[in-house]
Each structure stands twice: as structure tokens, then as C-alpha cells.
Structure 1
Amino acid sequence: MTLQPIDPVSDSRVEHCNSSLNGHNYHYLYGEPPGGQYKATVFLIHGWPDCGSAGWRYQIPLLLDMGFRVVVPDMMGYGGTDAPEVPPNDLSLYSYKRAADDIAELAKVIGAQQIILGGHDWGGMIVYRTAQWHPELISHVFVVCTPYMPPSEGYMSNEDLVRKLLPQFGYQIHLASGEVEKHVNNEHSIRQFLRAIYGGRTPSGETAFDPNKGVLFDKLPHIEESNILNGKILDHYVREYSRHGIHGPVNWYRTRKVNWEHDQALLDKKKIEQPLLFIQATNDNVLRPEMSKGMEKFIPNLTRGEVNASHWALTQTPEKVNAIIASWLGKQSLGNRSSL
């Protein structure tokens, strides 16, 4: 199914909305199928460094075409949503628990008694935890790339995680360090930063982003256009990041301790009972396929799919991702109640 992707700036199929959720302003895209009748409501949750609706631009029209109402928020720190500075604000504003509570509040704002949740990257972890914090609200879940990580009784720092288990998460330590904010602080450096993250290379073929190390500042000025993020969409990302800078987005990499603290209330709720689709990107060099082994232990109603793509599967292989999502949703008994 080939559908024209959403223009995140101006598109007749969606409208730009703002709501105050638990004391902070959120910007989100809102769309209904033609005629206004919908069989369920889908929230799409982005990760880093996508900008809300733009990261899901190929999936929004699919879901509208299938008869779903679609809501796509910019998460805390991104785009038109508030980006509170830390300090003086509390780091928990960027936690999974806060995101879950804000999603639940947004569902109330639009009058949805239940929602379907889709997530990618950090958005994947957010939707997993939202399904646990608000199980009565979430009817179905689908996640692209992000494997499920259950709440853990023992705490492991980012440094220990990288040293002992996941060396390819080394970039998270760099993003959390404060060094990146010192170097990426204006429109030009934001553009180069985004080109690097999305796979751009120097004229000699070098990259400026290493999962094990982070951002390579000496290469950053020389990065050329990315095949994945370029043109008008890159311009949109640069404008959105230029609103608040990158402090808000990188705060998500500083919340490991606060997320673990919140998770202690979920130790007896490690299972996700809702029907859940997990789509693995086989060439993801950070969220590698082996990380998803054993998910069935915690997700009894799990369906697996995979695409031959990198971490940016949503926009790299949209037709394949969409086909898997459409097939799975088509097999679910979602009913026709507008309260969904």
C-alpha cells in the first residue's frame, strides 16, 4: 500500500493541536478518517532524535486510511512541546512514568476511553511502560525496533550497562555528559548533528556518530547530506530543534536512575498482557536482534515481524513496516466504538 507521507508542517489530513497535560504544554498532530467515523484511536510515540509526527510520517496516512483516529505528540523536550531545563526542573519530567501519565491525560483530553499505542526507539520503552502503568487504557501495542526490557530489582548505571552488556550504548553516556550540548548549539551545528545521526558521511566516507563512542566532533563540520533525512524534512527537523536546542532531547539519556526508581512499583507487573506486535529491524546496530530474545516470557500475546532495515525502519522501509502493521491490526478485534 503506497500512501503519500504526511507533511509535518501543513497537511489537510491532520491538524496541529496544543493541550496542557499535567502542567506542561504538548503539541500534537490530530487526524480523523474522512467523514469523522473511526473504529479506534492510535497514539504514535516517537523516540530520539525524531520530531513527533515527522518520524511517523509514512504510518499516519496508513492508519487514517484504515479508519483509525491518529494522535502523534511531540514528547517532552521536542518540537512544539515544552522543554523544561534541568536543573532547575526535576529530571523526572523526562521519565517513562511522566510520559505515561501525560499520554493518559491526553487520552482524556480527546475523549478516548482506550487507545492503541505505537512506539519507536525511546517511544518503544514509553509504550511498554504506559501499558504497565495504565493497563486499562491501552488495548493494543505495537513497537518498531525497541525490545522489551522488564523492570529490574537491581540498578545498573549506564556505565556498567555499557561495560558489561551493551557496548553499543556508549553513545548514551556521551549524550548524557553535557559535552554534546556545548558543541551543538546553533542552527548550523544542529543541521550537521542531525545529518550525522541519520547516517550522513564526510566526502571521504567517514561517519561522525559511533554507537560505542557518541558524536565525533572533529568530523561533524564535514558531514554531507544523509540519504535518510534530507531536504524539506531535514529543514523541518532543524527548525524544530532550534526552538529549544538539544538539552530537552538529551535529558532522556539522563533518566536511567529515576526510571529504575519508578520501575520498583512495577516489579509484580512485568508481564504485558495486551496483544503486542514487535517489528525487528534486522540491521539495527544499536537495538540488535539478539536483544529481543525471550520477550515471549513477558508478553504472552506477542506477534513478531521483521524488516531488512536499519534503526530508521519507519522511513527507510515504510511500505514493509506498514504492511506488517496493517496485517496485524486487521487481525485484531477492535470493534467500532468511537470511545476507542
Structure 2
Amino acid sequence: MAPIPPLDPISDPRASHKTADLNGRKYHYLLAEPQGVDVAVGTIFLIHGWPDISMGWRYQMPYFAALGFRVVAPDLMGFGSTEAPPVPPNSIHLYGFKQASDDIAELARQLGAKSIILGGHDWGGMVVWRCALWHPTLISHVFSVCSPYVPPTETLVTTEQLVKGPMPQFGYQLHLASGEVEKRITSKNDIRQLLSGIYNSAGPNGERVFSPQKGILFENLPLIRPTRLLSTKEMDYYVDQYATNGLHGSFNWYRTREANWKDELELANRKTIDMPSLFIQANRDTVLLPSMAAGMGKFMPQLSRGEVDATHWALWETAQEVNETVKDWLQKCGVLGSSKSSL
């Protein structure tokens, strides 16, 4: 299939902005209806990560809709136009994988989808693997870009232990969880520079704003040039979305490690993901390294793998390759070409 232009963030006839009450919280989501077919092939949910929003799937949504799917992309709790309840006084569990999984299931129910294909990136990748464990009868197929599957553990492993041990590149998570970044990055200009820097831009002498080991390098923020990964219109939309509620909600995702562990103790004996699964590795991701995905197959009997020559932002840098990898996988799984609808 020829490349399809990405969604316009403000107004695009190929997708609509919707809201829903999911388990007591207001969510925003994008909905793209299937194109060129009388009956949808099925429903695909696409789950974003940080620092991203539902519009992060702007290259994928029209592509899958053109294949005949109904495509749904929600803003996660704390992101975009979805609620961002402060913690405290609210529970940090609102930002956990269990809550996100239950909210996805509720949105699918409201949309009348008895079975969905579920895809994710970054935090969204972690969410979709967990959703496959929490709601196995809902998820027919699951895929993740960049984020490998890590099974639930009986013993809590803290972020501090990971950073001091096998994953020093997770040091930035401690910085984002500390509260310092959300207190210092408050204006729209601050947010624009932060996002540009994380979206692979740099200063005139190669200065970076993001260090996997250290976190945000505030001294370099004023030097960061506009990113090439987003148009000016797209970046304006992202900045407005992040400025609406500030960064606190999105950073709560980095404070949930113990809460997720507590929620998942009942999954200790359900670590296997049985449905057809796909993992797409971004070979130049500096945080989610290829080595982290080595043992996934032990817990995923129907695992397929793909890879793209991209950084963490593979959905945009190598959009066509990502899209075609998912399409080829769905064809091999027998999803495409079938007249049977899962709606």
C-alpha cells in the first residue's frame, strides 16, 4: 500500500475526536472508521506512551482504517484531553497498568467491540502486554513497538534497583518521578523545548536535553532547535495538549512501579500471553535496548518479531515499515482477507 498522509491534528475527515466516561473518569480518544469496506474487518486499539498522546498514531490510524479496520486511539490517564487527577489526594493506582487495562476494556464494551486487536508503544506497549493478561478473552491479537514483554514478578524490583543494576539507562525515570521536572517545566515554551529535545532534536553544538542515565538536562533547554519529526502545526497541538494539565499526570506513570507490582500479584501464575503476538524492535532505541527482548519467547508461544532501523520514535521515523510489518503479521494470522467481523 502506498504511503498515506498522517492525520491532521486539528481537523481531519478521516478521524473524529470523542470522549467517554470510563470507570468514573473522562477519557478523550480518536476514532477512525473503516474505509472502502461495507463491514469492518475488526477493531484495533492503539495505546501511546510518553511524551506522546493519541495523535502519536497519526501515521497508523488512517493506514489501518484503509485496510478496513475501525481504529481507536485513547489518551491515557494524565495525557492530552483525558483527565489528569492529581496524586495525592487521588490514588497512584489510577495510573497503573490494571486501571489502564480495565479502562480499555470498558471503552471496547461501550463501542460494542467483543474482540479487539491491541497495539502499543512505549508505556502503551507495557499496557497492552498487561491488558492481554488481565483481559485475555477480549484481546485477539496484541503487538508492541519498542516495548518488550516483561512478565509480572512475585518480588518487587524497584526502579532504583534496576538503575543500580542491569538498566542504568532507566535513570531518567527517577528524575521524572522526583517532581523536579514538572515544577520547572511549566510554560508553553518550556514544554516545546522539552518535547523537541526528546523528539531527537539538539542544540547547535549537539547539546541534548534528555539523558537516559540522568534525565532532563535543564541547562540545554534554551539551546534546543525545533524537531524535524513533527510539523509546526503538529508541535503546536502537542504543546497545547501538554500545557492543558501540565506534566504531573504524565509523570505519575513513573511513580507506579510498586502499585503495579501490588496489582499484579494475582497474575503471578498467569505470565504467559497465549494469543498471537508481535514485537517490533527499534534498533536505535537508547532506552529499550534490543537485549531486553531476548527472552520474550519463553512466555509467548505465538510470538512473531520484526525490527526497524529507527530510534524510539519508530512510529514516525519508519511509519511505513511499522505499518507494513503489522499488516503482514495480521495477514499471516488470517485476520485480513476474512469477511468475518469481530465488531
| Distance of 1:199 and 1:277 partners within structure 2 | 26
- Cross-structure match for 1:292: 293
One-letter code of the match for 2:50?
Answer: W
Aligned length, in residue pairs: 339
CA contact (8 A) 1:283 1:309 kept: yes
- Cross-structure match for 2:32: 31
| Distance of 1:235 and 1:157 partners within structure 2 | 36
| Distance of 1:171 and 1:228 partners within structure 2 | 22
CA contact (8 A) 2:201 2:224 kept: yes
CA contact (8 A) 1:40 1:336 kept: no
Deviations 1:183-204 (A, max 9, x none): 1111111111111111221122
Structure 1 unaligned blocks of 5 or more = none
Which of 25, 40, 43 is the equivalent residue of 1:41?
Answer: 43
SS in 2 for 1:17: strand
In the TM superposition, what are the counterparts of 1:46-195 in structure 2 within 5 Å? 46-52=48-54, 54-195=55-196
SS in 1 for 2:161: helix
One-letter code of the match for 1:41?
Answer: T
| Distance of 1:133 and 1:294 partners within structure 2 | 21
| Distance of 1:158 and 1:36 partners within structure 2 | 49
CA contact (8 A) 2:4 2:63 kept: yes
Using the size of structure 1 for normalisation, the TM-score is: 0.98
One-letter code of the match for 2:136?
Answer: P
- Cross-structure match for 1:221: 222
Deviations 1:85-118 (A, max 9, x none): 1111110000000000000000011000010000
- Cross-structure match for 2:307: 306
> Runs in 1 of length 4+ with deviation above 4 angstroms?
none
Deviation of 1:36 (Å)? 5.5
CA contact (8 A) 2:96 2:260 kept: yes
Structure 2 unaligned blocks of 5 or more = none
SS in 2 for 1:141: strand
Using the size of structure 2 for normalisation, the TM-score is: 0.97
Q: Between the two proteins, what is the percent identity of the paired residues?
A: 54
SS in 2 for 1:305: strand
| Distance of 1:333 and 1:260 partners within structure 2 | 35
| Distance of 2:270 and 2:111 partners within structure 1 | 28
Deviations 1:221-255 (A, max 9, x none): 22111122341111110010011001111100000
Instruction: Provide the alpha-carbon RMSD of the alignment.
Output: 1.1
CA contact (8 A) 1:276 1:302 kept: yes
Deviates more, 1:250-259 or 1:30-39: 30-39
| Distance of 1:250 and 1:296 partners within structure 2 | 31
- Cross-structure match for 1:333: 334
